[in-house]
Amino acid sequence: MSIMVKRIFTVFLLLVPGAFLSSQGNASSELLSGFKDKEGTISIAGGTAHIPVMNDAARNIMTFNPRIRITVEGGGSGIGVQKVGEGLVDIGNTGRALSQDEITRYGLISFPFAIDGIAVAVHPENPVAALSSQQIRNIFAGQVTNWKDVGGADAPIHLFSRDEASGTREVFWEKLLNKGPVAANANIVPSNGAMKAAISQDRNAIGYVGIGHVDQTVKAVTLDGVKPTQESAMNGTYSVVRKLYMNTKGEPTPLVKTFLDYVMSPEGAEIIKKYGYIPLGQP
C-alpha cells in the first residue's frame, strides 16, 4: 500500500543590504562597531528555528555596514552540519548538540546561544488542551488514531512530524517519544513555519513546534500538567527543551567571529528574546 506523504519545501532567504529596516530601530553603533572596517560575506544554513534571529542580526549588520553581505538558508540541522562541514557555508545552525562523529569528521566547533522548548501543538479549535506523555507517545506511534480516545471529538487524528534532518524532531523524538516509533503515515513538513501552517489549516492535526513559534494560529498542549512556556523551560519544570547552536568548521574567521559575538551580545539577546527563546547566560 502506498503511503501519501505531505512535504512543504523550505524557501531560501537572501538578505540584501537596505532591503529591510532594522528590527532594533537604529542599530547600536557601540555593539556593531566591530563591523565598522570589515567587508565580505557570511553564509548561514541549517536549523529553521534559528532563521528569525539570524535574519534580524543580519539586517542590523548590513544596515550598519553595506559592504557586508549575509545570506541565511534553512534546511534543518542535518543540512547545517553537512554544509558547514563540507565548507559550503560559514555557519551551520543546529537545534541539537553535535555528535562526536560530526565533530571528529568535520572538525566543527559549537557556539550555543539560546534555549528553546518544544511544544506539542494542535489547532486552536481543538477541545483537547492537555495530554500526558504516554498519550502523545501512543498518538505518534499510531496506536491512538481518534481524538475521542483522548477526550476530544469523534474525528481522526492527522499526524504531522518533521524529517530526520530536523533538530526539533530529534529532540522531540528523544526527550518525549523516548526514541519510540513514529507512524509511517505521518505527514512530513520541513520547518517550524510549515508545521504551524499545516496545523492551523487542519482542525484534526497534531504536531510539534519550538515554543518560540507558538502564536494564535496554533495551540500548545499542556504536557503532564505543565504548560509549555519559555518560563517553564527555563526553570526546568518543562522537560522537552534544547539548546540552539551556531557551528563553524574550525576556528571562525574574524568576520564570522564578529557575527557570532554580536548574536551573543546584549543586543543579540534582545533579538533572541523577541522570538521567544532564552538567551544563554541571560537572567
CA distance 132 to 144: 13
- Cβ burial of 139 (10 Å; 0-12, 13-18, 19+) is buried
Encode 161-200: b = buried (16+ Cβ within 10 Å), e = exposed: bbeebbbbbbbbbeebbeeeebeeebbbbbbbbbbbebbb
Residue 27: burial class (beta carbons within 10 Å; 0-12, 13-18, 19+): buried
* CATH 3.40.190.10 residue ranges for the chain: 13-114+244-279, 117-235
Please name the residue that has the C-alpha cell 488514531.
Answer: 145
* CATH number for the domain running over 117-235: 3.40.190.10
**Full-model pTM:** 0.74
Over the chain (283 residues), the average pLDDT of each successive run of 10 is 34 38 48 92 95 96 97 94 98 95 97 94 98 98 98 98 89 95 96 94 97 93 95 90 96 97 95 89 51
CATH superfamily, domain 13-114+244-279, is Periplasmic binding protein-like II (3.40.190.10)
Q: Which residues contact 39 (CB under 8 A, 6 or more apart)?
A: 65, 67, 68
Q: Are 49 and 241 in contact (CB under 8 A)?
A: no
Tens of pLDDT along 137-170? 999 999 999 999 999 999 999 999 998 878 889 9
Maximum Cα interatomic distance, the chain, rounded to a whole number of Å? 63
d(CA 85, CA 248): 8
- Residue 77's pLDDT is 92
